[in-house]
C-alpha cells in the first residue's frame, strides 16, 4: 500500500468512527440578515446560539466606528505587532481596555483562544502547578497542555469546588501556583465562585487568572465583567477577555500588570508569531467600548430577555447562557432539528465539548432578540417537552 493510500484510509476510518458515534461535526452556512436573524435552507430562523450578547455586531454606533476608521486609515500595516503591526490605534485600544478593567496594562491578541494559550504557557514552568476547573474552556486546557511541555504540573479541581481547590493548594509541591477559571462557564452558563477563589489565591500566594469571555460586556457596571460586579477585580492578577462575544467583533486581550504584559510579549508565542488585528476590528471595538461605557440600555435589554426566559422556564437564570441538557447525542440532534422546523436555531453541543451523556442545546440570549423572539423560543421549548426529557442547567453564586 502506498503511504498516501494509508493516509486516505486513516482519514476515512477516523471520520467513520465519529459518524458511527453520532459525533461527526459538519459545517453549515447561514445567510445573515441581522445579528440573530438568518436564513438557512430558505427558512427564516431566529438564532439562539450566537455570543453577540449586546447585539453590537449590528449596532449603528459600532458599525460607524468600523467605517470611519477604515475610511481614514485602511486596514493598517499587516504584520505581527512586534514587527510593525502595532499602531497608535492598537495602543489606544490597549489603554482603553486597561482603564475599563482597572489594570495597569492590557495586551491585544488575535483571539481569546490564543490569549489563553500564550498566558498559561508563558507564566507556568517546571516551578509551577496549575490548578484548573474541570469545565474550563478548551483554550485553557490546551494552554495547560503546552505549559506541561515546559514541566508545569496540572491539577484539575472539581467544577466550582473552592474547598477542594483549597485542599489541593495546601499540598502544592511547587514554588508557584496558578489558579485558572472561566468566570462564566461557556457551556453551562453557571458562575465561578470568584470571591472564594480570590481569597484562597491570596492566602496561598497563587496567581489568579480568570477568563471573562462570557463575563465582559455582560456583567457589572459598564460591562466590566463578573469580577468587577463582585468588587474583586483588583484581586485578579490576569483577566482574559475576548472581543468576539460581547463586543460583537473579533480578537482577545489580557488585562494585567505591566510586568506580566512585558513577559507575554516576550514569551507568548501565539502573540509574537501572529498578525495584529486589522484596524476595521480595532475601530469597531473602540466604538463598542464607547457604547458600553456610556449606554447601559443594551445590557439592560439583554438582562430583561434573560429574566423573561427564566420566568417562562420557571428558573432563576444567572447568565444569558442557558443549557437545555438532553443527554444522548441522537436525541439532542433530533431536538435541534425539531426547533429548527419551528424557526428557532439552537446548535446541539455534544462530546467532547461537553462530558459524555450531557449533550445539550446551548441557548444564548442577546439584546438583539425581541421579546417576541423569546416568546417563540419558549413555545418551541414547550413543544420539545412533549416528547423529550431535559433539564435546564444554569445555577450560580
Ligand X SMILES: Cc1ncc(COP(=O)(O)O)c(C=O)c1O
Of the candidates 53, 113, 217, 303, which one interacts with ligand X according to CB under 6 A? 113
For ligand X, the binding residue among 244, 319, 359, 366 (CB under 6 A) is 244
Q: Is 252 in the site for ligand X (CB under 6 A)?
A: yes
Cα separation, 213 vs 192, whole angstroms: 13
Residue 268 binds to ligand X (criterion: CB under 6 A): no
319 is a contact residue toward ligand X (CB under 6 A): no
Nearer to ligand X, 52 or 373 (CB): 52
Cell numbers at 52, concatenated: 453577540
Please state the closest distance from residue 112 (CB atom) to ligand X, in A: 3
Contact string (CB under 6 A) for ligand X, positions 131-150, x = contact: ------x-x-----------
Q: Does position 242 bind ligand X by CB under 6 A?
A: yes
Number of residues that bind ligand X (CB under 6 A): 14
- Part in contact with ligand X (CB under 6 A); list of ranges 36-44, 172-180, 210-218, 294-302: 210-218
For residues 71 to 110, the per-residue mask of contacts with ligand X, x marking binding by CB under 6 A and - elsewhere, is ----------------------------------------
Measured CA to CA in angstroms, residue 40 lies from 118, 287, 333 at distances of 37, 31, 16
Residue 54 and residue 304: Cα distance in Å, rounded? 12
Tell whether residue 53 is a contact of ligand X (CB under 6 A): no
Q: Where are the beta strands (DSSP E) in the chain?
A: 31-32, 37-40, 43-47, 105-109, 128-133, 153-157, 176-182, 207-211, 238-242, 252-256, 321-327, 344-345, 348-349, 359-364, 391-392
- Interacting residue with ligand X among 55, 85, 112, 248 (CB under 6 A): 112
Q: CA angle 374-375-376, nearest 5°? A: 90
Q: Of 221, 275, 301, which Cα lies nearest the Cα of 56?
A: 301
**DSSP annotation of 85:** I
Q: Kindly report the number of other CB atoms within 10 A of residue 156's CB atom.
A: 15
- From candidates 57, 103, 186, 198, binder to ligand X by CB under 6 A: 186
Size of the chain in residues: 397
Contact residues for ligand X, defined by CB under 6 A: 111-113, 116, 137, 139, 182, 186, 211, 213-214, 242, 244, 252
Amino acid at each position: 500500500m502506498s503511504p498516501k493510500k494509508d493516509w486516505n484510509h486513516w482519514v476515512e476510518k477516523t471520520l467513520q468512527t465519529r459518524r458511527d458515534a453520532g459525533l461527526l461535526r459538519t459545517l453549515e452556512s447561514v445567510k445573515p440578515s441581522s445579528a440573530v436573524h438568518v436564513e438557512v435552507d430558505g427558512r427564516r430562523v431566529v438564532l439562539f446560539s450566537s455570543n453577540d450578547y449586546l447585539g453590537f455586531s449590528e449596532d449603528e454606533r459600532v458599525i460607524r466606528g468600523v467605517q470611519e476608521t477604515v475610511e481614514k486609515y485602511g486596514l493598517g500595516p499587516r504584520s505581527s505587532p512586534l514587527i510593525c503591526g502595532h499602531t497608535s490605534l492598537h495602543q489606544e485600544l490597549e489603554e482603553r481596555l486597561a482603564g475599563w478593567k482597572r489594570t495597569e496594562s492590557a495586551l491585544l491578541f488575535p483571539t481569546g483562544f490564543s490569549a489563553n494559550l500564550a498566558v498559561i504557557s508563558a507564566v507556568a514552568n517546571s516551578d509551577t502547578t496549575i490548578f484548573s476547573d474541570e469545565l474550563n474552556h478548551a483554550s485553557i486546557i490546551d494552554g495547560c497542555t503546552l505549559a506541561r511541555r515546559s514541566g508545569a504540573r496540572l491539577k484539575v479541581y472539581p467544577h466550582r469546588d473552592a474547598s477542594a481547590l483549597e485542599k489541593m493548594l495546601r499540598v502544592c509541591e511547587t514554588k508557584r501556583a496558578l489558579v485558572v477559571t472561566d468566570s462564566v462557564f461557556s457551556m453551562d452558563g453557571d458562575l465561578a465562585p470568584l470571591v472564594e477563589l480570590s481569597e484562597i489565591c491570596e492566602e496561598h500566594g497563587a496567581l489568579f487568572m480568570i477568563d471573562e469571555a462570557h463575563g465582559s460586556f455582560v456583567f457589572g457596571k459598564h460591562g466590566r465583567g463578573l469580577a468587577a460586579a463582585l468588587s474583586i477585580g483588583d484581586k485578579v492578577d490576569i483577566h482574559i477577555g475576548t472581543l468576539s462575544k460581547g463586543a460583537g467583533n473579533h480578537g482577545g486581550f489580557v488585562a494585567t500588570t505591566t510586568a506580566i504584559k512585558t513577559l507575554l510579549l516576550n514569551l507568548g508565542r501565539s502573540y509574537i508569531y501572529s498578525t495584529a488585528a486589522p484596524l476595521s476590528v480595532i475601530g469597531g471595538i473602540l466604538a463598542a467600548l464607547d457604547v458600553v461605557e456610556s449606554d447601559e440600555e443594551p445590557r439592560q435589554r439583554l438582562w430583561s430577555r434573560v429574566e423573561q426566559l427564566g420566568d417562562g422556564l420557571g428558573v432563576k437564570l444567572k447568565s444569558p447562557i442557558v443549557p437545555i441538557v438532553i443527554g444522548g447525542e441522537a436525541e439532542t440532534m433530533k431536538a435541534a432539528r425539531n426547533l429548527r422546523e419551528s424557526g428557532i436555531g439552537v446548535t446541539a453541543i455534544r462530546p467532547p465539548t461537553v462530558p459524555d451523556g450531557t449533550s445539550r442545546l446551548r441557548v444564548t440570549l442577546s439584546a438583539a432578540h425581541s421579546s417576541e423572539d423569546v416568546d417563540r423560543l419558549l413555545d418551541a421549548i414547550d413543544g420539545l417537552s412533549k416528547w423529550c426529557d431535559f433539564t435546564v442547567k444554569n445555577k450560580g453564586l
